[in-house]
Structure 1
Amino acid sequence: MHGKGVLTDRTALVTGSSRGLGLLIAGELADRGCRVMLTGRDELGLERAVRRLQGRPGEVAATACDLMDPEAPATLLAAVRDRFGAEVDLLVNNAGVIQVGPVAAMQEQDFRRAHELMTMAPLRLVQAVLPAMRARGAGSIVMISSIGGRIPAPHLLPYVAAKFALTGLSEGLAAELAQYGIRVTTVLPGLMRTGSHTAAEFAGQAGNEYAWFATAASLPLLSMDAPRAARRIVRAVEHGRRELVLTPLAKASVLAHGVAPATTNRLLGLTARALPSAGAAPEHRVPGVLAAARHPRGGPVHRLTALGRRASRAHNEPTAS
């Protein structure tokens, strides 16, 4: 537990917080005495999340909401006021969707949905909380982007396009809002062991796409322990940092891309060649739990994703057998 600090008695709204990284961030905030409103689309998932966070210093509540609904900001801010009697001091835009597969297997609607959820929904929430923050001359906004918002990882293009836009939005907001006492933190995580690969969607040869993505998101050398990531994100908020890049591999990739973008783009091209093709009959939007079922228990993919499955159970994600 944490003593009284800069976040004690603050009111936080964390999107995508019924599971995974959002749930872990909400727990860190509640440990620091924040009043935390969770939100997501899954009511049962939110109920489980609230039970997991009970007994911490900060009060925790939840409101089910579809962030792609233009009325979502008004609904969420009304819920925060009704429950906590306060305006939002800290907004954490974390909700997202991961679509894995070659661009040949993606559809325009995949890009539109990613953009709506991971760029436009955060923008609408920021616009909703800004008047009260400006009036107080204080406030914190956290944008959970991705290393994919700086480096165009292949077979993740809807996600990458939305995260590139979110990163630019976040950095622009940080520049414009500093004069009003509002701090904006851009978070660029690499792969983390949240177990979220089971909630991802797969296209093309879905089973093969699941194999590489779930393995990369599960191995310690390639992915970061999610609770540690959540702690570092909340510490960055406490210290008013403008940017946080998580995982050594992500830091090295950002540095390399900044110094030698042509070289890193060539390496990304080689990576794309090594990944599965779309196949003769590309699949579309196959849920991670179904893609996982194509790999037998005890097989190589099942063994390599053991830590990822453990994270799924620990962080309220859909569970693959």
Structure 2
Amino acid sequence: MNGLFTPAGKQGLAGLSAVVTGGSRGLGLLVAGQLLDRGCAVTIAARDGEELERARELLLDDRPGADVRIVRCDVTDRVQVADLMREAADAHGGVDVVVANAGIIQVAPLDALGTADFASASDTIFMGSVHTALEALPWLRRSPAGGRLALIGSVGGLVSAPHLLPYSCAKSAVAALAEGLHAELADSSVSVTAVHPGLMRTGSHLAAEFGGQAEREFGWFSALAGSPLMSMDAGRAADRVVTALARRRTRVVLTPAAKAADLGHGLAPALTVKLSSLAARALPAAPQDDGPSSPVPGREVEAAADRGLPPVLRRLRAWGSALNDRAAAGLNQRRNPPRPAR
């Protein structure tokens, strides 16, 4: 994997059984790799069977013989999530660690969104986390090591981001869920870790869905997601996530920009909202009178992404594109990607 999965050399999770939802690409794939490197048997789950097969091959490239299982699972269906936990427990003698990471990203102005977009984000991000947590808990409570549960939120759930409203609403609910579960389980052997990443170089811009002026929306989002000034190396982020799990941290916010936004919102929420409003004015408006638009995957508009972008964003995209492209190719974000060099 060309250094994307660097063994962390840290102890504390060896011999445990872990489940990662949304584990077939991006951050979930890297978290699965970190768990394997620390001695876990890992089950990764996602909706796309072919994507899961590729993910398993990528995970095994640098660790032949590692214990990796794949299970197709749609986290919006609680029955499928229950089956996932049961399969992982049957295969590995229980479930000790669970990372609820499955999600979607929709990037569009409000006027290009409909209620279906909010429902889709809520079903996958929030209810997917609810299903994962509730079905994992009976197994985590039985763990001799004491169960560990991580819910992957976002800085967008701490400070609502313009043109990411359904995503921010759903991630905000995940943040509340993580805090509530931590309080409810305080007297149990199960720890709950809330993880709130900022922008990371995972190649997620290709799998995200864009509405309104899709090419321009893709352009600004991918420019920021690839910029070293605004985004974080995904491998380092995954290491921080798994370290927080191992240490049973209550809450972790990743990237300096996300920490600054979280602090600013806590100290001066009205000012933070005003700054967010100014940022929204600089983003592309929805086409007039079109109403909600059908979302377009990023990989379908990538070629036209620079069209209509201001020069500063074009330069930013060019700066970060090599990092983004490397992440996308290595983290299973492209359809039918070339096999990595061995």
TM-score scaled by length of structure 2: 0.89
Instruction: Write out aligned runs for 1:44-123 (5 A).
Output: 44-54=50-60, 55=63, 58-84=66-92, 86-123=93-130
With over 3 angstroms needed to count, the CA separation of the structure-2 counterparts of 1:272 and 1:296, relative to structure 1, is: closer
Distance 1:81 1:209, change over 3 A: same
CA RMSD of aligned residues (A): 2.1
Distance in 2 between residues matched to 1:183 and 1:156, nearest whole Å: 30
Assess if the C-alpha contact under 8 Å between 2:202 and 2:328 holds in 1: yes
What residue ranges of structure 1 are gaps of 5+ in the alignment? none
CA distance in 2, matches of 1:142, 1:212: 30
8 Å Cα contact 1:101/1:203 also seen in 2: yes
Question: Corresponding residue for 1:132?
Answer: 139
Deviation at 1:65, TM superposition (A): 1.4
Distance 1:251 1:303 in 2: 26
User: Which runs of 4 or more aligned residues in structure 1 lie more than 4 Å from their structure 2 counterparts after TM superposition?
Assistant: none
SS in 1 for 2:295: strand
2:78 partner SS: coil
- Residue aligning to 2:300: 290
1:149–1:165: 8 Å Cα contact kept in structure 2? yes
Aligned to 1:150: 158
Alpha-carbon separation, structure 1, partners of 2:43 and 2:143: 20
* 1:26 aligns to 2:32 (yes or no): yes
The equivalent of 2:205 in structure 1 is: 197
Q: Distance in 1 between matches of 2:245 and 2:124?
A: 23
Count of residue correspondences: 319
AA matched with 1:12: A
How far does the alpha carbon of each residue in 1:116-170 deviate from its partner, in whole angstroms, 9 at most, with x for none?
1111121112111212333447200000100011001010001000000000000
Identify the residue that residue 178 of structure 1 maps to in structure 2. 186
Inter-CA distance 105–180: structure 2 relative to 1 (3 Å threshold):
same
Retained in 1: the 8 A contact 2:75–2:131?
A: no
Q: Determine if the alignment matches structure 1 residue 38 to structure 2 residue 44.
A: yes
- Separation in structure 1 between the aligned mates of residue 10 and residue 245 of structure 2, nearest angstrom: 15
Query: SS state of the match for residue 185, structure 1?
Result: strand
Aligned to 1:306: 322
Measured after TM superposition, the shift of residue 243 of structure 1 is 0.6
- d(CA) in 2 for partners of 1:33, 1:4: 10
Contact map agreement 1:14 1:36 (CA 8 A) in 2:
yes
Normalising to structure 1: TM-score of the pair?
0.94
Task: Give the % identical residues.
Answer: 45
How far apart, in 2, do the equivalents of 1:189 and 1:3 lie? 23
- Cα deviation, residue 56, structure 1: 5.8
Instruction: Kindly provide the CA deviation profile for residues 210-234 of structure 1, in whole angstroms up to 9, marking residues without a partner as x.
Output: 0100100001001000000000111
For 1:252, the equivalent position in structure 2 comes to 260
Displacement of 1:8 after TM fit? Answer: 0.5
Call closer, same or farther: CA 1:274–1:4 in 2, change over 3 Å.
Answer: closer
Q: Is the 8 A contact 1:198 1:319 kept in 2?
A: no
- Per the alignment, in what secondary structure is the counterpart of residue 293 of structure 1? helix
SS in 2 for 1:179: coil
Distance 1:62 1:315, change over 3 A: same
2:109 counterpart letter in structure 1: P
